[in-house]
Structure 1
Amino acid sequence: MIDGRRTVDDALFTETPDGPALRGSRCADCGAHTFPAQSGCPRCPGTSMVEVPLSRTGTLWTWTVQGFTPKPPYTGEAAYEPYGVGYVELPGQLLVEARLVETDPARLEIGMPVELVLTPFRDDEFGWPVHTFAFVGVEA
């Protein structure tokens, strides 16, 4: 649980004074960041990875709207609703692929400031919501 909510994978998140953040890692040798957290560096042969909370804010680097039902096995029982997906640049860290809360293309813009939120993804077998991460636009 993160911030009192069930998540798709608690290993993806950490709690900070400002709210939930993505749990990443930084190479102590070359400074490269990764998400999710990893034990080895993808940029250099370093294995001195330090777990770090990633920035909760960034800018939308690029985006699209998933407007059609994904092919099986990714279809669910609920009616399909289009959703936004994009790459978010976390300043000084990395690009992370994520869902976007906004689905209206007229309201999405490359370079817009965004902030991490937890959003319902599905219900568990008992009907309780399970959350994933997404980014929502914020005022500059």
Structure 2
Amino acid sequence: MDDSLFTETADGVALVGSRCDDCGAYTFPRQGGCPRCTGSAMVDVPLSRTGTLWTWTVQGFRPKPPYTGTAAYEPYGVGYAELPGELLVETRLTETDPARLRIGMPLRLELVPFADDEQGEPVHTFAFVEDTHD
């Protein structure tokens, strides 16, 4: 897991992005310059842990190298999570069944196992899961 992508908040782990103090644009991952106004007044911010599914697909075949996922490849959902008032984040989805994915469904951030490191310890990445909490 790339620890520079995450921060601990009172509500749990959140992605770290940047917000431009000049124009208010958000970026993920964090950046030193603003892609909207080209300003350099960027501050690190924890991004929302919840959002909605903007669009999605299912990755049904192993991606080309340098993909380093688990040896036993299984299809996985991929989509864009719309974080309210912030931005769209490209993300893995924990759901893989197309019949259960729908645009606008509520999502929340989770850390999920991705692969094992050289010592056999799990490496985690972020994904979004359907948020069934109101």
Matching residue of 2:45:
52
Per-residue CA deviations over 1:67-87 (Å, capped at 9, x if unaligned) read: 012223326561210000000
Among residues 57, 78, 92, which one is paired with 1:64 in the alignment? 57
Please state if 1:22 is matched with 2:22.
Answer: no
3-state DSSP of counterpart to 1:106 = helix
Amino acid at match of 1:110: I
Structure 1 gap ranges (5+):
1-6
Among residues 64, 89, 92, which one is paired with 1:99 in the alignment? 92
CA contact (8 A) 1:41 1:47 kept: yes
Instruction: Name the CA distance, whole Å, in 2 between partners of 1:24 and 1:75.
Output: 24
Please state if 1:130 is matched with 2:123.
Answer: yes
3-state DSSP of counterpart to 2:63 = coil
CA contact (8 A) 1:88 1:98 kept: yes
Kindly report structure 1 stretches of 4+ aligned residues shifted beyond 2 Å: 71-77
TM-score (norm 1): 0.91
Amino acid at match of 1:43: R
Over 3 Å counting, the alpha-carbon distance change for 1:30 and 1:70 in structure 2 is: same
Instruction: Name the CA distance, whole Å, in 2 between partners of 1:80 and 1:71.
Output: 12
Structure 2 gap ranges (5+):
none
Amino acid at match of 1:135: F
Please state if 1:118 is matched with 2:111.
Answer: yes
CA contact (8 A) 1:11 1:23 kept: yes
Matching residue of 1:41:
34
3-state DSSP of counterpart to 1:111 = coil
Q: Work out the number of aligned pairs and report it.
A: 133
Matching residue of 1:3:
none
Over 3 Å counting, the alpha-carbon distance change for 1:73 and 1:49 in structure 2 is: closer
Give the superposed CA RMSD: 1.2
Deviation at 1:130, TM superposition (A): 0.6
Over 3 Å counting, the alpha-carbon distance change for 1:78 and 1:109 in structure 2 is: same
TM-score (norm 2): 0.95
3-state DSSP of counterpart to 1:55 = coil
